[in-house]
Amino acid sequence: MNLQRMPLVLIPIPPDFINSLRSARRVAVLTGAGVSAESGVPTFREAQTGLWAQFEPTDLATPQAFERDPQTVWEWYAWRRELVARAEPNPGHLALAALETSLNRRGAHFTLITQNVDGLHQRAGSQNVVELHGNLSQTKCSREDRVVESWPPTRRVPPPCPHCGALLRPDVVWFGEALPREALAAAERAANESDIFISVGTSGVVEPAASLPFAALEHGAIVVEINPEATPLTPLAAHVLTGPSGAVLPDLVKAVWPEG
């Protein structure tokens, strides 16, 4: 999709932010569920629909829920996988991929750190993506903790691991589980070394992801927030662009590189 033809919602982009992005050497972006909202993927704070309206995501995304009712948890993720498979990257995802391309072309380093498990950043063309919370398109053994690509057809839900017989589960990080060590280390390094850190579409509640913008701030980065509503980061951000990421991000890329 050519961002140049995107309908522009005029969100004022501060000139000094535009200039700092043009001269930045290391940029890090943290995204949350809000970036996928305009692709039709509900955020964790939105009420769920249909069969799942009776559940709170935070009650389902836990090892205890899987222990107690593995079938319900497996079916919730199957429903989300189908929803994501039908979703398309939105202009916000595409703008982040364009931002990475433009910065890399100028010899700058770009890291996209995401809390999202929907894989939409990669489908939009983003290359250097750090998935803090896993990816719901991948399945792993609940005992051996290794990814399982395929398993024999079965009526059992969840299916058993073809190697050891334990239950299969989605390869995501549940509440109370440690984040993948390499991903968290890469995200912390990107935050600590960034000139500019942009937090987009996240309520800034879930740790340890929520601490990344503050770490960037402590290391002297220009921290910018793009979100339709205030978060704990808002008072400390150098710039706050209030609006939907599907509109603000294309505006930002066009303002920084009007020539495309």
Contacts with ligand BV8, residue ranges (CB under 6 A)? 32-35, 37-38, 43-45, 58, 61, 115, 117, 133, 172-178, 201-203, 205-209, 227-229, 231, 244-246
Specify the residue, 134 or 256, whose C-beta has the smaller distance to ligand BV8.
134
Residue 109: its H or E element: strand 109-114
CB of 87 to ligand BV8, least distance (A): 13
Single out the residue of 143, 188, 149, 186 nearest to residue 165, CA to CA. Answer: 143
Task: Give the shortest CB-25-to-ligand BV8 separation in angstroms.
Answer: 26
Query: Radius of gyration of the chain from Cα atoms?
Result: 19
Which residue is catalytic, options 93, 133, 163, 239?
Answer: 133
- Tell me the β-bridge partners of 170: 139
Is 133 noted as a catalytic residue in this protein? yes
| Closer by beta carbon to ligand BV8, 108 or else 204 | 204
Taking alpha carbons only, the member of 189, 180, 88 closest to residue 135 is: 180
Which residue number, 45 or 109, has a Cβ lying nearer to ligand BV8?
45
Q: What is the DSSP letter of 61?
A: S
Compare residues 109 and 175 and give the one whose CB is closer to ligand BV8.
175
Q: Identify how many contiguous H helices and E strands the chain contains and give both numbers.
A: 10, 8
Nearest residue by C-beta to ligand BV8? 34
Q: Tell me the C-alpha distance between 32 and 99, whole Å.
A: 17
**Residue bearing tokens 């319900």:** 72
Q: How many angstroms separate the CA atoms of 176 and 63, rounded?
A: 8
Name the nearest CA neighbour of 22 among 102, 96, 127.
102
Residues noted as catalytic: 133
